[in-house]
């Protein structure tokens, strides 16, 4: 069993965990998972993440508005985030970003809400957790101009893109996608990501790695991601888990 795992992106407030959430979260430290970062997707979800983080010493959280949630915001959403961010277990603003995957999204509104949250993170001196899907060009323009510190979650892009993100001071979140058959680009990226910019994540309950694909994901499955990354980088999984956890703690300022 691997030890010292830090899952830097999880969604344990999701209804997929309603049946066994407490049992699972309580058991994680005994199964090698030392730290979990929950990512908030709306004001309501962010409050649920805080409530979970309050209950478990190994659970921390971020608060934010996911790009898929920008068209259903309460008028005082930014004030709510600012208030929640003062909580001792909140370590970041996220998950925030741009998502052009489906038709019908309001891209201008996504840009506006992302810009507000990036400025909020700077004002509060917090890192950001970035969701960027099919929108890297526009996202890079914002990142170059605003220069937030934080992590690009669920990275599946090219080595070239990874290099630019790292040059902007960002960390790269690697999860289950690395183990998929069509993961050629992210495999090449993992080959070149600097050791001090790599973090592991699950995005659970989504994106379970091979050999668990199709099942509900949880933080223990980072072991499979680390094993694949170690194979690519010609090292051992436990060493990468330790390094990635150190990076995550530094990113989120967790002792």
**pLDDT tens-digit profile of 130-167?**
999 999 999 999 999 999 999 999 999 999 999 999 99
What's the CA gap between 244 and 174, in Å, rounded?
10
**What is the length of the chain?**
255
* Assigned fold of 5-252: TIM Barrel (3.20.20)
What's the CA gap between 190 and 170, in Å, rounded?
14
Locate the domains of the chain by residue range. 5-252
Joined tokens for residue 100:
């052009």
Question: Residue 103 pLDDT more than 90?
Answer: no
| pLDDT at residue 105, rounded to an integer | 84
pLDDT tens-place string over residues 106-123:
999 999 999 999 999 999
What's the CA gap between 13 and 55, in Å, rounded?
13
Q: How confident is residue 245, by pLDDT bands cut at 50, 70 and 90? A: very high
Phi, psi of 149 (to 5 degrees): -100, 145
Supply the pTM of this predicted model. Answer: 0.97
Question: Residue 238 pLDDT more than 90?
Answer: yes
Q: What is the DSSP letter of 208?
A: P
Helix axes 77-85, 43-55, angle to 10 degrees: 20
What's the CA gap between 174 and 195, in Å, rounded?
12
């Amino acid at each position: 069993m691997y030890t010292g795992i830090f899952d830097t992106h999880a969604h344990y407030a999701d209804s997929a965990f309603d049946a066994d959430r407490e049992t699972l979260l309580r058991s994680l430290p005994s199964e090698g998972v030392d730290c979990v970062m929950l990512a908030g997707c709306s004001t309501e979800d962010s409050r649920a993440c805080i409530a979970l983080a309050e209950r478990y010493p190994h659970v921390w959280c971020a608060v934010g508005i996911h790009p898929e949630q920008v068209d259903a915001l309460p008028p005082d959403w930014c004030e709510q985030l600012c208030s929640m961010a003062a909580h001792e277990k909140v370590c970041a603003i996220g998950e925030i970003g741009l998502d052009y995957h489906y038709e019908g999204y309001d891209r201008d509104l996504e840009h506006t809400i992302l810009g507000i949250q990036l400025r909020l993170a700077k004002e509060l001196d917090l890192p950001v957790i970035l969701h960027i899907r099919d929108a890297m060009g526009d996202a890079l323009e914002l990142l170059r101009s605003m220069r937030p510190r934080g992590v690009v979650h669920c990275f599946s892009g090219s080595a070239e893109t990874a290099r630019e993100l790292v040059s902007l001071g960002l960390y790269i979140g690697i999860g289950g996608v690395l183990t998929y058959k069509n993961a050629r680009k992210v495999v090449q990226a993992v080959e070149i990501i600097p050791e001090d910019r790599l973090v592991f994540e699950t995005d659970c309950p989504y994106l379970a790695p091979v050999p668990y694909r199709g099942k509900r994901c949880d933080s223990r499955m980072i072991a499979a991601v680390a094993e694949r990354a170690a194979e690519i980088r010609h090292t051992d999984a436990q060493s990468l888990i330790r390094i990635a956890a150190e990076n995550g703690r530094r990113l989120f300022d967790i002792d």
